[in-house]
């Protein structure tokens, strides 16, 4: 259980202390030297950006996504949009065909190969300096691209990841999800301050085109690619002001299947990059192990702790641990049956979320070992009116026709 406690509590506390000391050192050097530490290289002109979206069966959100792209506040002549259709079987292609705009480049692939393969093909069709990856069901804030590119004025920045706001759909318990994402966001901010941020967010991820050179297919490309970039010596930045909004599906089975798939991808990333755990890598290896690797090992720790506690239950201390663990898991089971019956998990939402997340990792580990997890994905079920809540968060009107007209006008 020590590994679990260290991962969820010890490492964040240590990260906070080191970050505070680093900030104090920076403040002291500033006071002594009086240099302008906030001065950044100035871009002579905004870089050309290509927005790349890989889509499978996204008929419920694809038109809203195109409209969202039209509303991005970035010069028209500096922004390209590419939609790669990974052999969809629904009406996604037909819906895109009805959009009369030469700025929307639609590339249809006959054979389904997976997200990364599509993104690689799209990247070859543009010479833009910055590639921005996003998902069809994710809505970007109007200033998203501008907030991305400001970081690339520093030639040492190789990748920038944004903040994903997960909105609540009917039938979804927001409490546990919200706590987890706030916890993750805090960790990413601290790691970014220490220049040891490693992963990215596929819903909003920008990469310097010259560094986008994936050599292998990956289930979680949004983690694998920034990881490689960081260990090449370039910075990976987390910017919480780059906002992307995605709705949490009310379909609990779909949520769980998505976590299993991501879990399999995490283990794939781990075993492909064991050399990154070399202690000679310093703080990077330490953060990779403490934040990522331990997270992926937590399910194994939990199973081991439960088995050992039950076997040694004759000892009062181990007996108490066994009872507490069983009680916690029973709370998760109670939460599951409440959700299955159409009721909110309520007080059981945190145990349910924690257990389902780790069970998904455990099943993902099995899927990875048996080779049952493919790089292709199934579209998560979405509600046709999911755009409404996302629009309210991004505070923009919904008028596809007006947005399309605005796109045709030259930038001021």
- Among 250, 282, 305, give the residue marking a domain's end: 250
Q: 274 and 209 in one domain?
A: no
Q: 158 and 98 in one domain?
A: yes
Contact of 352 with 336, CB cutoff 8 Å: yes
Q: 186 and 150 in one domain?
A: yes
Q: How many residues does the chain have?
A: 412
User: What residues make up the domain containing 176?
Assistant: 49-250
Pick the range with the lowest mean pLDDT from 232-246, 309-323, 384-398: 384-398
Q: 268 and 185 in one domain?
A: no
pTM (two decimals): 0.83
Q: 246 and 98 in one domain?
A: yes
Q: 274 and 181 in one domain?
A: no
Tell me the range of 72-81, 103-112, 331-340, 387-396 where mean pLDDT is highest: 72-81
pLDDT, residue 382, reads 58
Pick the range with the lowest mean pLDDT from 82-86, 306-310, 340-344: 340-344
- Assess if residue 10 is contained within a domain: no
pLDDT, residue 402, reads 40
The span from the CA of 64 to the CA of 167, in Å, is 16
Q: 102 and 190 in one domain?
A: yes
Can you give the CATH number for the domain in which 180 is found? 3.90.550.10
pLDDT, residue 52, reads 95
Pick the range with the lowest mean pLDDT from 35-39, 49-53, 344-348: 35-39
- Among 215, 250, 285, give the residue marking a domain's end: 250
Q: Does residue 72 carry a pLDDT above 90? A: yes
Q: 288 and 246 in one domain?
A: no
- Assess if residue 356 is contained within a domain: yes
- Look over the chain and give the mean of its residue pLDDT values, rounded to a whole number: 83
- Assess if residue 173 is contained within a domain: yes
The span from the CA of 207 to the CA of 117, in Å, is 16
Pick the range with the lowest mean pLDDT from 28-32, 118-122, 259-263: 28-32
Q: Does residue 302 carry a pLDDT above 90? A: yes
pLDDT, residue 42, reads 57
What average pLDDT score do residues 361-384 get?
Answer: 76
Q: 232 and 111 in one domain?
A: yes
- Assess if residue 78 is contained within a domain: yes
Q: 78 and 219 in one domain?
A: yes
Hunting for tokens 């093909």 — which residue is that? 121
pLDDT, residue 379, reads 63
Q: Does residue 30 carry a pLDDT above 90? A: no
User: pLDDT grade, residue 25 (50/70/90)?
Assistant: confident
Domain count, the chain: 2
pLDDT, residue 381, reads 60
What average pLDDT score do residues 250-264 get?
Answer: 82
- Assess if residue 35 is contained within a domain: no
The span from the CA of 359 to the CA of 374, in Å, is 19
- Assess if residue 3 is contained within a domain: no
Q: Does residue 121 carry a pLDDT above 90? A: yes
The span from the CA of 291 to the CA of 194, in Å, is 14
| Main-chain dihedrals φ then ψ at residue 173, nearest 5 degrees | -85, 115
Q: 321 and 240 in one domain?
A: no
Q: 185 and 76 in one domain?
A: yes
Provide the 3-class DSSP secondary structure of residue 205: strand
Output the DSSP codes for 145-190: HHHHHGGGGSTTEEEEEEEEEEEPPTT--HHHHHHHHHHHHHHHHH
pLDDT, residue 361, reads 93
- Among 250, 265, 299, give the residue marking a domain's end: 250
Beta bridge partners of 206: 132, 160
pLDDT, residue 376, reads 66
**Starting from the edge strand earliest in sequence, which strands make up the sheet with 157-167, in order?**
104-109, 79-86, 49-55, 130-134, 205-208, 157-167, 235-247, 139-140
């Amino acid at each position: 259980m020590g590994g679990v406690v260290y991962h969820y509590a010890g490492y964040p506390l240590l990260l906070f202390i080191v970050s505070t000391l680093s900030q104090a050192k920076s403040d002291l050097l500033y006071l002594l030297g009086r240099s302008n530490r906030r001065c950044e290289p100035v871009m002579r002109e905004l870089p050309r950006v290509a927005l790349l979206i890989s889509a499978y069966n996204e008929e419920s959100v694809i038109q809203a996504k195109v409209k969202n792209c039209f509303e991005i506040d970035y010069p028209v002549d500096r922004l390209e949009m590419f939609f790669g259709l990974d052999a969809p079987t629904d009406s996604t292609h037909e819906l895109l065909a009805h959009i009369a705009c030469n700025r929307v480049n639609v590339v249809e692939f006959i054979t389904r190969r997976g997200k990364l393969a599509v993104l690689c093909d799209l990247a070859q069709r543009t010479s833009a300096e910055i590639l921005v990856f996003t998902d069809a069901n994710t809505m970007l804030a109007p200033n998203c691209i501008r907030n991305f590119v400001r970081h690339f004025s520093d030639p040492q920045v190789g990748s920038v990841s944004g903040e994903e706001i997960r909105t609540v759909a009917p039938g979804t318990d927001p409490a546990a999800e919200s706590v987890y994402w706030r916890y993750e966001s805090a960790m990413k901010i601290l790691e970014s301050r220490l220049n040891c941020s490693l992963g990215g967010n596929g819903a909003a991820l920008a990469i310097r085109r010259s560094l986008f050179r994936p050599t292998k297919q990956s289930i979680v490309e949004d983690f694998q690619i920034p990881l490689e970039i960081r260990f090449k010596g370039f910075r990976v930045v987390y910017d919480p002001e780059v906002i992307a909004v995605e709705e949490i599906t009310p379909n609990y089975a779909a949520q769980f299947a998505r976590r299993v798939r991501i879990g399999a991808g995490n283990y794939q990333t781990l075993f492909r990059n064991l050399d990154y755990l070399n202690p000679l890598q310093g703080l990077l290896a330490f953060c990779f192990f403490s934040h990522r690797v331990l997270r992926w090992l937590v399910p194994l720790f939990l199973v081991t702790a439960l088995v050992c506690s039950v076997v040694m239950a004759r000892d009062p201390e181990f007996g108490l641990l066994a009872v507490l663990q069983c009680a916690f898991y029973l709370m998760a089971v109670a939460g599951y049956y409440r959700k299955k019956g159409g009721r909110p998990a309520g007080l059981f939402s945190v145990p349910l979320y924690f257990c389902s997340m780790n069970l998904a990792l455990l099943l993902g580990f099995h899927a990875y070992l048996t080779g049952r997890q493919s790089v292709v994905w199934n579209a998560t079920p979405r509600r046709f009116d999911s755009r409404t809540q996302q629009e309210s968060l991004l505070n923009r009107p919904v008028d596809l026709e007006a947005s399309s007209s605005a796109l045709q006008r030259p930038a001021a």
